[in-house]
Each structure stands twice: as C-alpha cells, then as structure tokens.
Chains A and B, each alone.
Chain A
C-alpha cells in the first residue's frame, strides 16, 4: 500500500491515514453525514418535545402531571449516559445512535413549550379566541404555536451543537458509525492508534467538529438575542 500516514503536504493538505486515504476528502465527505444526521435528530427532538409540551400545558391535570414526571425522569439522567445505554442495548449502528439521542433529548423542549403555553393561556388574545368558541386545535395552531416558535427555534439551534457532539462522541466510543464510514468521531477513534506517528489523524476531525459546533453555537446565541431576548434566561436554564 502506498501513501500511508503521510504528513500534511500540498497534495494532501491534512495528510493521509493508515490506509493511505486523503484525510481532507474524508472529512468533507463526512460533513454531509454529520450535519444531516444532526439536523434530523434535532428535528425529531423538537417535534416530540413540542407535541408533549403543548399537550401537557393545554390539558393540565393528571395528563400534565404524568408527562412532566416523564420529562423529569428523562432529565434525571445525564443525556449521553442514557443515550449510550440505549444505543448499546440496540447494538452499534448510526441509526441506533440517532434513535437514542432523539429519545433522550426531547424533554427540554417539552419543558420550554409547556411553560410558554402556561403563560400564554392566561393572555387576553387566547382567552378571547376561546370565548369566541374556537376549538382547541384552532387556538393551538393559530395562537399558541406562532408564539412559541421563536424560543423553540433558538433552543433547537443551540441544541444542534450538542447533538453533533453526542453523535461524534458515541461514534468515538464505537457505538455509532462503523469504519470505513467517514464519520468524524469514528475517524478520530481510528486515528488514536497512530497518535505517535500521525498527530493529524485525531486533530483534523477534532478541529472539524469544534468549528461546526462553534458555528451553531454562535448562530444560536445571535438568534436568541434577536428573536427572544425575553426568554433567553429560560433557555439558558435548560
């Protein structure tokens, strides 16, 4: 085999790996994977969490109580640990990691949406709509969702970074994408064997993950300042 573990050069700007593959090419290819998956997982979290939060906030009573205790239970575990166990039980694969991260991560959305619904419920325009005899669905779709959209989108943007870290972390531990998939965490994990000969193998994917997550975090911070300065405290707490 040729071109194994070559240091960064003009031909291979980020060097080559133990099989002579160009690291930059693999990273670029892997970005499609990491970004796509992160967006899917975050969307699933957002949809489940918003639905649960709306139901809990609107229904009240024992339904609210039961759903919120479920949320408390999920939030009682450090996210990655729970996702690790679920993904481990399902067996190592990228789909299982996505599933695990989606299942453990919707609780903070539910909490945010529920508390927004509770405060919106008392507002005049909602009361007015209800007095006009509008159905629950109408009130939810026309009056509640538009008003909770901004903080939820901000939370989701801030969440994507965490999801990317989660996916690459679980892949790093060997539960997510398997080699030769060019997933960033998987690449970092296979690079650690050659840490003495080829320092770029762990650092290139590491920098990639960091820059991507940093980008989403900056975007999330800006969106929060723009869209929902009032709720920024609440989002921070989650």
Chain B
C-alpha cells in the first residue's frame, strides 16, 4: 500500500471526523430550551427549580462558557469515552448505547446475509442472460424493492407471516424467530440495490477481452462465469456492500420501530421524542463515526482487491 495515499486518506478522514463531531455538537448546542433547567427539574423530581439554583448550576457546570470552551471540554470527555449522562435516567450514555448496540449489529449482519443471498445470484442470472425474461423479472423486482418503504414491508410481513400464518412472532427480540422478519424487511431493500450493481459489474466484466480469451480456450461456461468474471466483478460490489451500511443504519431506525426491537434506532427515536439530548448526541456521533470508519475501510479494501486502481491519484 502506497504510504502517501494512506496518509492523505487519513488526513481527510481526520477532517471529516472533526466535522462530524462539530456538527453533532452544534446541533444540540443550538436546541431551544435550557439544559440547566431541564437537568435540575429532573433532579428535583419534576419541581420547578429556583432562578438562583439554575444560575448556580450553569456556572458550576460551565454552561456559561463560550462555545469553543464547551466544545473542547465535551470533545475531551468523548475521547476519554465519556458521553455524559441521560437527562432522565442518570444512566451513562455509553451504557445505554452498549445495551442496545448488540441488537442493531445482529440485525445489520442478518439483513446483510439476506441481501447477499438474494442479490448476488439474481445479479449474476441477469447479467448472464441480458434481455431475457429472467433479467427483466430481476430488474423489475429490484426496482420494486428500492421503491418499497421498509416500514410498510415490515407491516405487510407481520400481517401475512405473523397474524395470518402465525409462523413468526409479531415483535420483540429473542431467538432466531424474532430476527427473521426484521432481517428480511431490511435485507430485501438492500438486495435490490446490490443486485443492480452486481448485474452492471458482471456485464462490464463479461465484455472484457480476457473473458473472450477464456471462452475461446474452450473453458466451460461455469468456470468462465464463476472464476474469471465473478472474481473481477466483486471489486465494485464489495464497495457497494460497504456503502450499504448507510442504508442499514437508516433502515434500522424504522425497522426497529416497526418490530419494537430495542436497538440504536429505537434508542435514538425515543430520546428524540423525550428530548434526552445527551443520548441523541451520543448515538448520532457514534453512527457518524462508524460510517466514516467503514467508508475508509471500504476504500482500502477496494485498493487491495484491485491493484490496478491508481493509489496516488486524485481523491475525488
């Protein structure tokens, strides 16, 4: 790996991470409402605190300091793993996140598996027989999949599979049976996007000269497709699957609400409605950071998989 390229990417990533933290902090900083009053009211069991108490609290907690001072203090706390405390339960934000994160990761992995299991075969089948009935069906299916709101698909699956057929539980977390419907809901939308890209990538590759060579050598079609073509087509596909994390995190919010799964998404939505800003801030920051790091990892993988990609090239 080219060191100069790596360094350049690291610097850009650092700037973006700084931007993410700043944006997260500013969003909460400018919220209407007085955090001092909110916290004190909570601490006093719902009673309205006196004006002096609020003033005193503001000074002792540094809420009167200039923005930059407060941001730097918050940032240094964050870097030490302290995201503050929930306004309402006194629980550290990191604990609340740690409790919910495993459920979201499970959902993300399961839906990723569903997505790949559907999309890769569908994309290959399309690309191998372009213009065929299979191709059109797969392409139309993908279009429908992209256009389907996942909250509706979730309820549709609940109605059919849980209420009518009584195969899977309606909601909640637990065994594998609780995971199937949410994973299918989230995974099918992803599958739609991935299958289109698998198709495009395969079509590009199947056009290449080395495929013609492989065919004219008399290699069996299966070997040509699975060994020569698929391996090369996988390069862009890996990137796309990595970038699908955005889709997973977007979708997880809604899907977790539909299936009432306690995860990062439901934590965020509940905190937003409760105006529990430390939690909102913590979850938003975490999601932003995860996303930036994944994109970075995807970039590097991309370069590893395809050595032809110019490492010293312009970034954008």
Contact = CB atoms under 8 A, between A and B. Distances in A.
Interface stretch (A14-22, A120-128, A146-154, A207-215): A207-215
B199 to A, nearest CB: 12
Given A165-B149, A195-B163, A217-B143, A81 B284 contact: yes
Interface string A201-226: 01101110111011001100100000
A68 B272 CA distance: 29
A214 B257 contact: no
Nearest to A114: B316
Given A80-B250, A161-B147, A169-B151, A202 B159 contact: yes
Contacts of B288: 76-77
B291 interface: yes
A59 interface: no
B284 A214 contact: no
B189 to A, nearest CB: 10
B27 interface: yes
Contacts of A236: 197, 200
B134 interface: no
B241 interface: no
B306 to A, nearest CB: 16
B152 A78 contact: no
B143 A218 contact: yes
Interface stretch (A43-51, A83-91, A136-144): A83-91
Contacts of B200: 236
Interface string A167-193: 011001111000000000100100010
Given A68-B316, A89-B28, A202-B155, A76 B16 contact: yes
B297 interface: no
B31 interface: yes
Given A172-B151, A202-B155, A214-B144, A81 B31 contact: no
B246 A79 contact: yes
Contacts of A89: 27-28, 30-31, 272, 280
Contact of B280 (A85, A202, A217, A221): A85
Secondary structure type dominating chain A contacts: helix
Contact of B250 (A68, A78, A114, A217): A78
Interface in B4-25: 12, 15-16, 19-20, 22-23
Given A188-B152, A209-B149, A218-B143, A78 B249 contact: yes
A206 B149 contact: yes
B20 A84 contact: no
A144 B86 CA distance: 51
B28 A206 contact: no
A221 B196 CA distance: 12
Contacts of B153: 206
B115 interface: no
Contacts of B292: 76
B156 interface: yes
Contacts of A227: none
B12 A72 contact: yes
Nearest to A115: B316
Interface string B25-39: 001101100000000
Interface in A52-108: 68-70, 72-74, 76-82, 84-86, 88-89
Contacts of B197: 236
Contact of A88 (B20, B148, B247, B273): B273
A217 B193 CA distance: 12
Contacts of A161: 146-147
B147 A79 contact: no
A78 B27 CA distance: 16
Given A68-B316, A76-B292, A173-B257, A196 B163 contact: yes
Given A84-B253, A192-B155, A195-B155, A77 B291 contact: yes
A214 to B, nearest CB: 4
B152 A205 contact: yes
B59 interface: no
Contact of A188 (B20, B151, B291): B151
B148 A210 contact: yes
B288 to A, nearest CB: 5
Q: Which 7 A-B pairs have the closest CB atoms?
A: A206-B152, A73-B19, A88-B272, A214-B147, A213-B147, A80-B250, A78-B249
Given A188-B149, A217-B143, 9 more contacts: A69-B16, A69-B19, A73-B20, A77-B291, A81-B284, A85-B268, A86-B27, A88-B273, A89-B28
29 contacts: A72-B12, A72-B16, A74-B23, A76-B16, A76-B291, A78-B249, A78-B291, A79-B246, A80-B254, A81-B249, A81-B253, A81-B287, A88-B272, A89-B27, A161-B147, A169-B151, A172-B149, A172-B257, A188-B149, A188-B155, A195-B158, A195-B159, A202-B159, A203-B156, A206-B149, A209-B152, A210-B147, A213-B146, A217-B146
